[in-house]
Structure 1
């Protein structure tokens, strides 16, 4: 994982942002979009452990910072088009992102915003703007994905209490990964079974 490359400096940076409270969490959530090496998850968790009554408030702060940064990425993609995508990301990743966004639309952004995939949310945000996804759909998907991720982490803290502080990167992301997989399966099954359950629009 990217933040393991410089454990000493990353740990010091994380402690600095934790010491700043909600403003520090907002800052790191915003900067993470631009490949800042400190994941906001590991600022959110100790803050929520220390102040359980504010856990969901911290989740809202992290969501706001991250979605704001994603919105800037969306605007960059909308202004620069495919040229920005090709200049920033590897061609094969761009092609896959393009295919997913064109096929599944905002659902792709929601899953990418939720899942702990390096550069995933950044790529999909820029791609959504470049491919002309409706701003309202993009914003709703970003809020659902990022909000779902951080509010789930806040709920984990409330469930585990002080024990949540010892969760490592792999453990925390494993929980999020399972939840993301469940969300994808639910979406795909919903698309498949909805016409059977509710009938066609012309019935």
Structure 2
């Protein structure tokens, strides 16, 4: 099954809808969806290393737009949808501490957590809930998310053939490592939140 998904993503790199799907996943991941866009960004960039920059740009733009949606959830819908999402991730009792930290360290929190595997949707919702300056939030999000996705683009563009050979040789191992990193991101978010 993993091989079929990977092969589909690589083959889809030539399809006109692939960019739209990747953008939709990137948007959704920043506001409510648990799967990061890297599951499409990496295979598509491996298939077309010369387009890795475009893919990173699309992920950045759609992730920041999704971040604004997450911010709106936190700012406008926290009492219903936002609180439910925070509770879903088991962080309801830590939101007040996070809000206090925003008063002092908001930009560093957004940039730091936006570059890591910590679920970015938690940062976007908390930013809205904390009433963090929207313009500064967008700027920090561009830096963090752009940094993250363009690092992937640099690696795929420069070392794509070698990375592709390693992934294809040990696909199960790399998927397992990715899942572990994602799970650790949630654990770190719960501990650090």
Q: Same fold (TM over 0.5)?
A: yes
Q: Does 1:15 align with 2:8?
A: yes
Aligned position for 1:128: 127
Does the C-alpha gap of structure 1 residues 31 and 172 become closer, same or farther in structure 2, counting only changes over 3 Å?
Answer: same
The whole-number CA distance in structure 1 between the counterparts of 2:178 and 2:155 is 12
Q: Distance in 2 between matches of 1:11 and 1:69?
A: 28
Distance 1:127 1:160 in 2: 36
Specify the SS of the correspondent of 2:131.
coil
Relative to 1, partners in 2 of residues 1:11 and 1:135: Cα closer, same or farther, differing over 3 Å? farther
Q: 1:91: which partner in 2? A: 92
Query: Structure 2 matches for 1:3-152, cutoff 5 A?
Result: 8=1, 12=5, 15=8, 19=12, 20-81=17-78, 85-89=82-86, 90-117=91-118, 120-152=119-151
Is the 1:48–1:54 contact (alpha carbons within 8 Å) kept by the matching residues of 2? yes
The higher-RCO structure (CA 8 Å, 6+ apart) is 2
List alignment gaps of at least 5 residues for structure 1.
Answer: 1-7, 178-203
Q: What's the offset of the Cα at 1:144?
A: 0.8
Look up the match of 2:187.
Answer: none
Bigger Rg over Cα: 1
Once residues 142 and 65 of structure 1 are traced to their aligned partners in structure 2, the CA distance between those partners, rounded to angstroms, is 11
Question: Shift in Å at residue 24 of structure 1?
Answer: 2.0
In the superposition, relative to structure 1, how do residues 94 and 110 fare at CA in structure 2: closer, same or farther (>3 Å)? same
Instruction: Compute the TM-score of the two structures, normalised by the length of structure 2.
Output: 0.71
- Structure 2 distance, partners of 1:30, 1:102, is 26
- Distance change in 2, residues 1:13/1:80 (3 Å): farther
Report the Cα offset of residue 44 of structure 1.
0.8
Contact preservation (8 Å) 2:26, 2:62:
yes
1:116 aligned counterpart, secondary structure: coil
